[in-house]
Amino acid sequence: MNACLCCPPAGLRRRSVLAAALACLSAGPALAAAPAAGPRMAPDQALATLMQGNARYLGAAPQPVAHSAGARAARAAGQAPFAAILGCADSRAAPEVLFNAGLGELFVVRNAGNVADTGAVGSLEYAVANLGVPLIMVLGHERCGAAEAAVAVSRSSVSLPPQLGDMLQPMLPSALAAIRAGGDVVEGTVRANVARSAARLTEVSPVLSAAVAAGRLRIVGARYDLDDEAVTLMS
């Protein structure tokens, strides 16, 4: 059977799609799909706004979600989040709740252990390059189950299901460092993993490292306390 003359070969189509995706990322925020109008925050302003949101949450302020027809239409037309969060999938650590944020205000990427894996890095590249996000927070939390599992594996070679074992691999250096340091090894793993994940974002991503170098982006680490529900910035 002859190939369709109007359709390029599959390999060429794949290369064309990849080239288009890379062009979108390199072009930056101008190609974002109908972002909401309004001035973009500076990185430090975004961080202050985020931390003020946690203060409102601790003060039991209601979550600011507008449900009017106009608000829904604006959200449907495009997104303009002021910050991105790489957080843990733990059900008690939902960033929109912890930072008292409404729909469309935060670009959230979550996985077990807030690990900067391929999916997380690629998602954050999109947030920065196409949506103009000026701040990324890597958010770990107290008594993280993924950190506990990484410590267990590091200490005794616990057998885990294949996918779970692969997922924990990036956390093992943090667990080993915490074990060597002594003290509360799970807490040490949580903190070391936040620092490693934050550093990895610029180590593996030219998009993110260029934005940081240009002053358009700030990357910070933070810890969420399950007991008092406060978010604290890490150095």
Is 7 annotated as belonging to a binding site? no
Tell whether residue 144 is among the known ligand binding residues.
Answer: yes
E strand residue ranges, the chain: 83-88, 106-111, 135-141, 218-224, 231-234
d(CA 221, CA 177): 18
Q: Are strands 135-141 and 83-88 parallel, antiparallel or unpaired?
A: parallel
Distance CA 2, CA 92 (A): 57
Spatial neighbors of 233 by CB under 8 A, at least 6 apart, are 51, 220, 221, 222
88 annotated as a binding-site residue:
yes
**Which of 122, 102, 111 is closest to 36 using CA atoms?**
102
What are the angstrom distances between the C-alpha of 27 and each of 21, 30, 55, 133, 207? 10, 7, 36, 15, 11
Numbered residues of the known binding site for Zn(2+)? 88, 90, 141, 144
Numbered residues of the known binding site? 88, 90, 141, 144
